[in-house]
Amino acid sequence: MRSIARISCIFAFFAVFVIDLAVADLPKVALQISGHDLSAEVANTQRSRLRGLMFRETLDDDSGMLFVFPENAYYGMWMKNTFIPLSVAFIDEKGFIINIADMQPNALFAYYSVDPARYALEMNMGWFTRKGITAGKQIIGLERVPEAE
């Protein structure tokens, strides 16, 4: 029985290691909003969207994660296992910000788009406010983002 437990622990470690490697290799894209440059990791697969920024302890200034969804729809983001306070901008298919929400670490409820969205951009909490970015602003550079898988 002990060997089964040991094998299970090794398998669990390996699975987390493989997922972390996959997330570490996410493509990055340079974006601009209202003259402010940022770099975003692109979460365009189901696995990368599920993982998001979980288990990270820091996020560089002017860096974030862009979630690319397979279709224009209402989406919700939650903060399970996410240790960094974040702000999320929900973005429509034309690249305009629909709404922005501040999200608390480890919150187990969802923050939703108020209209159908195609993207969500997570940044350090308050980034959008500090830059004076509000709903209605357009994201430049989305044409370089890989399609959702």
Domains of the chain: 27-144 (2.60.120.1140)
**pLDDT reported for residue 5:** 38
Which residues 6+ apart lie within 8 Å of 110 measured at CB? 76, 77, 78
φ/ψ region of 57 (left if φ > 0, alpha if ψ in -120 to 50, else beta) reads alpha
**pLDDT reported for residue 24:** 59
- Given a cut of 60, whether residue 8 has pLDDT beyond it is no
pTM: 0.85
The helix/strand/coil state of 91 is strand
- What's the Cα-to-Cα distance from 31 to each of 34, 72, 121, rounded to whole Å? 10, 20, 10
In whole angstroms, what separates CA 143 from the centre of its chain?
A: 18
CA-to-CA distance for 27 and 136, rounded, in angstroms? 26
Average of pLDDT values for 113-127? 98
Q: pLDDT tens digit string along 69-95?
A: 999 999 999 999 999 999 999 999 999
Strand partners, 104: none
Average pLDDT, the chain: 89
- Given a cut of 50, whether residue 33 has pLDDT beyond it is yes
- What's the Cα-to-Cα distance from 48 to each of 109, 132, 135, 145, rounded to whole Å? 20, 29, 26, 14
pLDDT bin (cut points 50, 70, 90) of residue 25 is: confident
**pLDDT reported for residue 144:** 96
